[in-house]
Structure 1
Amino acid sequence: MKKDIEIPEVENVHVAAVREFNEAFQADEWNAYIINNKNVSIETILIVSKGYDGKKETSVMRHKLEKLPPHSFAKIEFLQDEVLSLNNEYQVTFFADNKMFEKTFLLKKNTVSEDRQKEIPLIPKKGVLAL
C-alpha cells in the first residue's frame, strides 16, 4: 500500500533567512521567508517551525498562508538572534496542481550570518537559503 502513495518532489519552493532594516525599531534583523518560484500558485500553505540543539528547544510555531502567487514570496517570521545559534527547521506543506507537497527545510545552527549571505530567488536582497 505504501508503494502506491505518490509523494511528489518539491521544486522551486524555498525558505530563506533575509537580513532587513526594521524602520519601527531602527535596527537590522533577520526574517524567514517562503519563496514560490513556480509558474503556478501554491495554496493552503502550512508551515511548522521550531529551533533545536540537543538540550535547547524553542516553542513550535505554526503559520498558515491561503495562497502564494507564482514568482512571489511572503514573510514567515522574525528570527531572534538567540535562535540563530540553534537549528531552525521549517516543515512546509502546500497544494499545487491538485497535489499535496511536503518538505522540511533546515537553517543549520550558526549558518545564518551576514558573511554567508548570497543572492536568493525573487527577493531583491541577499540572504541564506535553507537546505
Structure 2
Amino acid sequence: MKKDIQIPKVTDVYVAVVNEFNKEHQTQDWNAYIINNKDVDLDTVLIATKGYSEDKITPVIRHTIKMLPARSYAKIEYLQEAVLKLNNEFKVTFFEGNTMYDKTYLFRKNTINKNALQTIPLMQEKGVLVK
C-alpha cells in the first residue's frame, strides 16, 4: 500500500536565508524566504519552521502563503542570531495544479553565516540557499 504512493520530487523551489539591512532598526538582519523559480504559480504554500539541537528546540511556527506567483519569492520570517546556532528546518508543502508537493529544507547549525553568502536566484541578494 505505502509503496504505491507516488511522491513527486520538488524542483525549482528553494529556501534562502538572506542578510539584509533593516532601515527601521538600523541593523543587519537574517530573514528566511521561499523562492518559486518555476514558470507556474504555487497554491496554498504551508511552511512549518523550527530550530533544534541535541538539547534545545524552538516552538514550531507555521506560515501560510495563499499563492506564490511564478518566478517570485516571499518572506517567511526573521531569524534571531541565537537561532543560527541551531539546525533550522523548514517543512514546505504546496499545490502545483492538483498535485501536492512536500519537501524539508534544512540549514545545519552554524551554516548560516557571512562566509557562506552567495547570490540568491531571482532576488539578486546575498544569502545562504538550500535547494
TM-score bracket, shorter-length normalisation: over 0.9
State the shift of 1:130 in Å. 2.3
Number of residue equivalences: 131
**Unmatched runs of 5 consecutive residues or more in structure 2:** none
Question: Is 1:10 aligned to 2:10, yes or no?
Answer: yes
Counterpart for residue 59 of structure 1: 59
CA distance, structure 2, for counterparts of residue 56 and residue 130 of structure 1: 22
The AA in structure 2 aligned to 1:92 is V
Match of 1:57, SS?
Answer: coil
TM-score (norm 1): 0.97
The AA in structure 2 aligned to 1:31 is N
Q: How does 1:17-32 map to 2 (within 5 A)?
A: 17-32=17-32
Counterpart for residue 42 of structure 2: 42
Counterpart for residue 69 of structure 1: 69
Match of 2:25, SS?
Answer: coil
The AA in structure 1 aligned to 2:59 is S
Question: Where do 4+ consecutive residues of structure 1 move more than 3 Å?
Answer: none
Q: Report the identity percentage.
A: 54
Counterpart for residue 100 of structure 2: 100
The AA in structure 2 aligned to 1:56 is K
CA displacement 1:10-50 (0-9 Å, x = unmatched) = 00000010000001101000000000000100010000000
Computed over aligned residues only, the root mean square deviation of the Cα atoms, in angstroms, reads 0.8
**Unmatched runs of 5 consecutive residues or more in structure 1:** none
The AA in structure 1 aligned to 2:58 is T
